[in-house]
A and B are shown apart, each in its own frame.
Chain A
Amino acid sequence: MGTRPRAPQSGPVARRLELLGELVRRDVRARYHGSVLGIGWTLLNPLVFMLVYAVVFGDIIGVKGPSGKSYAVFILSGLLAWTFFSQALVMAASSIINNAGVVRKVAFPWMLLTVSSVIAALVNFLISLLLLVPFLILAKAPVGWPLLAVPGLVLVTFGLSLGLGLMLAAGSVYFRDLQYIINLATMIWFYLTPVIWPLTHYQGFFNHGKVGLIAHVIVYANPMTWIVVSFQDVFVFNRWPQHWHGLVYAGVLAVALIWLGIRVFRRLRRRFAEEI
């Protein structure tokens, strides 16, 4: 064999980005492979949920959306953001365990497996945003400059789910049930987030003594409350997010969670290859 030019040595950052690109490609594709509808599921899923919620909560239970606004657009705008968050958590939680084969055999920045699963959820979310278009047109709801807030909202949501996701991913290696717990937890969390009804709808419940007080604290401490409410501001009311203090809180929490997530992950990764 002649002397071939040596393979270029990419820097640590370039190497990670390249790997992340491949992993995201894989994760996004894996989701749709082998299904007839393919990417259509990303649209169909929230659509069906939205219709079910609109009928069950709107028509049967009699929940009222904001007056004079489309209930469909209202539910959809919060639901898409929520789905992004919950899906990212669920996918992140299994991101390491599902790659046991490679973690057991190859030393590389395993954290990228988790990051890539959250990015894959982000890609799904961006596609699912398309679903809003026909409903906005149908409802003749105008959207304008406040759309510029969306990237910021997405960034904060991404940070929240990445931070939590890193902890869940690493924790699941030692404690498998975490995957199932997270499914249950996101279901409960969903009702503590004002997706189906406006934030003001909780008010009566909050006045119900001790339980109401606890619920009040939880709903307000829930960073997704402020994300979802802000999405509703942009798409339903065509206005800039009103609860900016809530958003700042969510942003700070996101940074803190990422910091904590990285620390926890780094701590736990030492025994990954043995425990997985």
Chain B
Amino acid sequence: MEPTILVEGLSKRFRIYHQRSETLKEVLVDRRRSRYEEFWAVNDISLEIKGGETFGIIGANGSGKSTLLKCIAGILVPDRGKVSVKGRMASLLEVGAGFHPDYSGRENIYLNGAILGLPRRYINTVIDEIVGFAELEQFIDNPVRNYSSGMYTRLGFSIAIHMDPDVLLIDEVLAVGDESFQRRCMDHIETMRREGRTLLFVSHAADTVRKLCDRCLWIEHGSQRQAGQTDAVVDGYIGEVNRRELEALQSSASELGGSQPGWMGVRLSSVAFTGGDGEVNSVATGGELRVKIAYDSPSALRGARFRVSFYPAGQAVLLSVQTDDGKLGDRLLPAEGTVTLSVPRVPFLDGVYGTKVEIEDIASGRSYVEIDRPQSFRVQGAGRHEVGIALVGHHWDVPALDPSTVQV
């Protein structure tokens, strides 16, 4: 059977203008042609997607995913190679494009429908469904310029979904709308899958791709990196992302330097993270992590408290520990020194963690100085079966089979 979407050796070149001569003055006065550099946003990509298949394209931001999708949608014309799509195509990258602000929602449905290629008489039969899906029954006759951005997107989405396409192209737009709308969109996409429509799905969210797609393509800098069964490709992609993050952490290790002097001239001169096997900025789940905090101060420190907080990148603090357990108490610390925190068995699971280090005066509670490193070390937990943020000791009781009762 012939593939529904066929992409052969597709390449797309973009121009980056250094200084674009757009105005008459620039063209006349500055006679040089506008200067630009060219780069290949998509380079020699080939794809064959069969009817009824759900196909994913993953890659980092700027890897060329959306450019590839726009070439398939026919918005961009490739410089090399060719694209062919069988059947009616709709794309969820065009949400609300072409809405007229002075038109009511209802009038925009007809206008947008016509732009997307739907006859008026067909829209008449589905308009209630479109309005209902977008939950805009009360507002459908108001001009869309009065809509909130959520209403606007929901309406655009609902129109695109009701286009009854054979091929649906979906860009990362599923992140719009509230939770319940998102869920209904996913349900609808699932229905379309079951109906045997062909779906092409672009995302950098590995989870969604894993959930939806049969096969998958991973592109990097516009070129194919890996293609095939979703699990294998997504594993490869995630592995690569992790490796990159770790490298970036290690190369920036020397830059994890100190802070500016804070209150009373106290300064954190450096914070260093080492794993049990001496690896910089990296530790395995269950391994030992050492945090070395070097400080200096114009004079000896009395009654100071050190606090270290760990949090998964971009999330709330998971664990905060401080030296306020009486050992340090009112002790006088040298004007310059190193405090080391050891965590013998790191409970965190795979991911990048941020660290906040603070020194404060116990008596007043006032902070001398603090450093916050959103990406300070990586925990290598890949290959473990636990999912989540932290490893918690656990034990299973599973019934055993008494061999004497087994009937063969």
Contact = CB atoms under 8 A, between A and B. Distances in A.
B76 interface: yes
Given A22-B110, A102-B97, A108 B102 contact: no
A176 B23 contact: yes
Contacts of A243: none
A8 B123 CA distance: 10
Contacts of B100: 26, 30
Interface residues of B, number: 37
A119 to B, nearest CB: 15
Interface string B103-146: 10000001100111111111000100000000000000000000
Contacts of A101: 97-98
B284 interface: no
A50 B153 CA distance: 47
A180 B76 CA distance: 28
A7 B111 contact: no
A51 B53 CA distance: 68
A175 interface: yes
Contact of A107 (B74, B102, B103, B121): B74
A273 B76 contact: yes
Contacts of A22: 110-111, 114-115
Interface stretch (A10-18, A66-74, A79-87, A233-241): A10-18
B70 interface: yes
A106 B120 contact: no
A15 B117 contact: yes
A181 B163 CA distance: 41
Contacts, number: 87
Contacts of A102: 94, 97-98, 115
A274 B15 contact: yes
B377 to A, nearest CB: 41
A31 to B, nearest CB: 11
A137 interface: no
B23 A30 contact: no
A181 B115 contact: no
Q: Mostly helix, strand, loop or mixed at chain A's interface?
A: helix
A1 interface: yes
Residue of B88, B122, B163 most packed against chain A (CB within 10 A): B122
Contact of A106 (B103, B116, B121, B122): B116
A49 to B, nearest CB: 27
A21 B103 CA distance: 15
Interface of B: 14-15, 22-24, 27, 70, 73-77, 88, 91, 93-94, 97-98, 100, 102-103, 110-111, 114-122, 126, 163-164, 191, 195
Given A106-B75, A273-B70, 9 more contacts: A7-B122, A8-B121, A8-B122, A10-B117, A19-B115, A102-B97, A105-B94, A107-B73, A177-B23
6 contacts: A4-B164, A18-B119, A34-B102, A175-B22, A177-B27, A271-B77
